[in-house]
Amino acid sequence: MSRSAAVVAAACVLEALARVAFAAPAEDEQLLKRGEALLQKNCAPCHAVGKTGDSPRKEAPPFRTLAQRYPVEQLEESLGEGIMSGHPDMPEFSFEADEVGDIIAYLKSIQQPPQK
């Protein structure tokens, strides 16, 4: 292989690696945005769904503190089959499998460490 062919081949490999490396974060960002949008639409009237702020309903826990109570992944089944609460004011929600993945990813991204 000539030197110029080797340089072209190396450049192609580097370009392919760059596409893979930069595509994943962009896809992850879209996933997080979709999860946030779903929670904003369905849950924000009662819960704080972001990294900051108070819940509009005082008794509704901010979503950024959920991991202090249980692993966020435990919500997957409830979100997919229909989440029901012990109080009558909370409507029942169910989401499609891809939406559940987006929501869980977003929830994981906003969790705060336990306060001491």
CATH of the domain at 63: 1.10.760.10
Q: What is the mean pLDDT of residues 56-80?
A: 92
Residue 4 lies inside a defined structural domain of this protein: no
% of the chain with per-residue pLDDT over 70: 72
Structure tokens at 2: 């000539």
Residue 84: give the domain boundaries: 27-110
Q: Give me the pLDDT at residue 90, please.
A: 81
* Domain count of the fold of the chain: 1
Q: Please count the residues of the chain.
A: 116
If you average pLDDT over every residue of the chain, what do you get? 81
- Long-range pairs, 47-52, Cβ under 8 A, ≥24: 50/110, 51/110, 51/112
